[in-house]
Each structure stands twice: as C-alpha cells, then as structure tokens.
Structure 1
Amino acid sequence: MQVGDLCKRQVISIEEQATLVEAARLMRQHHVGALVVTSRDAQGRHVCGVVTDRDLVLDALAREVQDEDLRVGAIAHTTLVLVSEHADIGEAVQAMEHSGVRRLLVKGSNDQLIGILSLDDLIEAYSAELETLVRIIRSGMAREARANQLAAAPADQPLLIPSIGRATWASVVVGV
C-alpha cells in the first residue's frame, strides 16, 4: 500500500502571521490536529512549517502566553519531513520513527504538497490489514476443523489398542 492511498488530501493551511487563536479555531472548524503553515512571497505561497494542536496547547502554556499577538510562525515546526506519494507505508513508518514526528507531508510527482499522512492514518490502515489477516486465519482454522471432524473416527465406536502390528509400545502396563 502506498502513502498516496492513505494520506488526507485536504490540506488545511494557515499563514505564518496568523494568531494562535486563529489556528485553534481553524483546527476546530475542520476537525484536524495539524495545520500547514505557509508564507507568501512574489512567487506565491510556500510551506514553511507545521503546527499541531499539541504545539498550540503546550507551547502556549510553557511560555505562559498572555499575548494575543503571538503568531503561528513562532511556534511552528520548521524542519519539514516529506515523503513521496509513491512510498510504501513501511517507508512512512521509518520516516516518522527516524524524525520523531507523527505527521508527514506528502509530495506529489510535481513536488507540490498533495496531502498529510498521520500516525493515526497508518494505525487505521494496519488495523484494517490485521482484521483481514485475522479473518483469513479464522476461516482457515474453521476449514481445518471441519476436515478433521470428517476424518476422525465416530465417537460411538471404541478405539482398539493394537497388540500386534505396526504400533509398538514404549512401556509395559501392569495389571491389565
């Protein structure tokens, strides 16, 4: 499975000069936990960072922010971790683990941002695959159980102990 199949294509962005309150409202409005932070220059809008709901809460509290003028760009993570839409999910997991992030920016073949892949997206994909695997295993076990029941001797017939033949006994039972 490829990253492009799993990533959220609707990227919600915010200008780096927006306030933390504006960022929180935008996250709430769109039910997302991260925003792509952008800056604007003569060539257009560029990705310059990522800010998460956790950043808003923890950074604001750690700084004891009373100032409504604090801007998103001041707390955004500016080290961006990109992954190709054609990368497989194993590569995405490695990128997250190596970089210590829970969200990856997904780039398309034209090097433009096409989505965001979160750890939650990966967990959801893996859990769906595990559910399929469990179903396959249970189906196989049920098939084996049915086949074994057909091959088993009927319960109402006694099982005979061979006295002579192919089977040999490893010990002697006394008193029989």
Structure 2
Amino acid sequence: MGERLTTGEICTRSVTIAFRQTTLNGAARLMRENHVGALIVVDEVGAQRVVLGVLTDRDIVTAVVAADLDPSTLCVEDVMTTDLVTAREDDSLIDLMRTMRRKGVRRIPVVGAQDELVGVVTLDDVLDILAQELGLLVAAIDSEGQRERKVRG
C-alpha cells in the first residue's frame, strides 16, 4: 500500500455480476453460491463490463418478498437499484468514506477510466483497513512507552 491509500488498492477485484435479464431466482442463487449480499449489474460493451446498477438481498426482500410478488416472473432490471454510486480506482480512502456516508451506501462498484468495472468495495473492507491502521497507531504508542522506559529508567 502506498502513502495515499486508494479505493483501487482496497477493492475486491473478483466481483459477482449479473445482467439485466438475469432472472431474480437466478440472481438469488448467484448470491447464495458466491456468499455475497449484492450483485453488480453490468452490460458488456465490447470487451468491457459497464456498471448499470446494483441488486442487493435487501432489494429482493423489500421490493419482491414483502410486496408478495412472484420472483419467478421478474428479472434483475425490475428490482435493481439504478441510482448508481460508483468510486474511481484512484479515489482516496477518505473520499470513499465520505461518499459512503453522504450517499448512505455500504457497497460501491469501483470503475476505471472508461467507467469499466474494476471491483467492488464494501464497508467491511473499509473497516478492516481502518482497524489495521488503528493497530499501527496503538503499536506506535506502545513503542514510545517502551523507549521512554529505556531512556528514563
């Protein structure tokens, strides 16, 4: 990791995706098989995957199950969130956290220079990094105390 931690450095590059026409039942199976709570919905444009939206397990529960709709009659595009929030690969960790807070999201697709899908970053990823950084600060405090004891006796 560099001095300026970027979103691209902390994102997960192996992303479980779906297409607009993926059946909702198929999307739920993808989530279960890959142990994820969200799918990034993409369109293939040439050799790139362009992000269109996100489908979460919560979307399925609130928009389909709670509304007593038949999931076998629906596709991903019928339920996915299209009010898209993305992060650039070179966004700083601070910018990413501000975006998550401001937009109220826990998962953000990470895109490259041509808006192609690069990865996904979650609140869990951010918390893991922050915990590591806090651990380094605690170690610095400990070493300062040890140094003082050596010098001062």
TM-score grouping bracket, smaller chain normalisation: 0.7 to 0.9
Structure number with greater CO (CA < 8 Å, separation at least 6) is: 2
Match of residue 137 from structure 2: 133
Q: 2:88 aligns with which of 77, 84, 104?
A: 84
For 1:79, the aligned partner's letter is D
TM-score (norm 1): 0.75
Match of residue 166 from structure 1: none
Q: 1:111 aligns with which of 111, 115, 118?
A: 115
**CA spacing shift, 1:109–1:135, aligned 2, 3 Å:** same
Unmatched 5+ stretches in structure 1: 151-176
In the alignment, structure 1 residue 11 sits paired with structure 2 residue 20: no
For 2:39, the aligned partner's letter is L
Q: Is the 8 A contact 2:17 2:41 kept in 1?
A: yes
RMSD, aligned CA? 2.2
Q: Is the 8 A contact 2:49 2:116 kept in 1?
A: no
Higher helix share: 2
In structure 2, C-alpha distance between the alignment counterparts of 1:53 and 1:28, rounded to whole Å: 10
Once the two structures are TM-superposed, the CA of residue 68 in structure 1 deviates from its matched residue by 1.5
Once the two structures are TM-superposed, the CA of residue 61 in structure 1 deviates from its matched residue by 2.6
Match of residue 52 from structure 1: 56
What is the count of residue pairs matched by the alignment?
149
The residue correspondences of 1:14-163 to structure 2 (distance < 5 A) are 14-39=18-43, 46-148=50-152, 150=153
**CA spacing shift, 1:7–1:45, aligned 2, 3 Å:** closer
- Return 88-97 or 31-40, whichever deviates more: 31-40
Q: Is the 8 A contact 2:51 2:116 kept in 1?
A: no
Unmatched 5+ stretches in structure 2: none
Superposed CA offset, 1:85-122 (max 9, x none)? 11110000111111111111211133311111111111
TM-score (norm 2): 0.86
User: 3-state DSSP class of the match of 1:14?
Assistant: strand
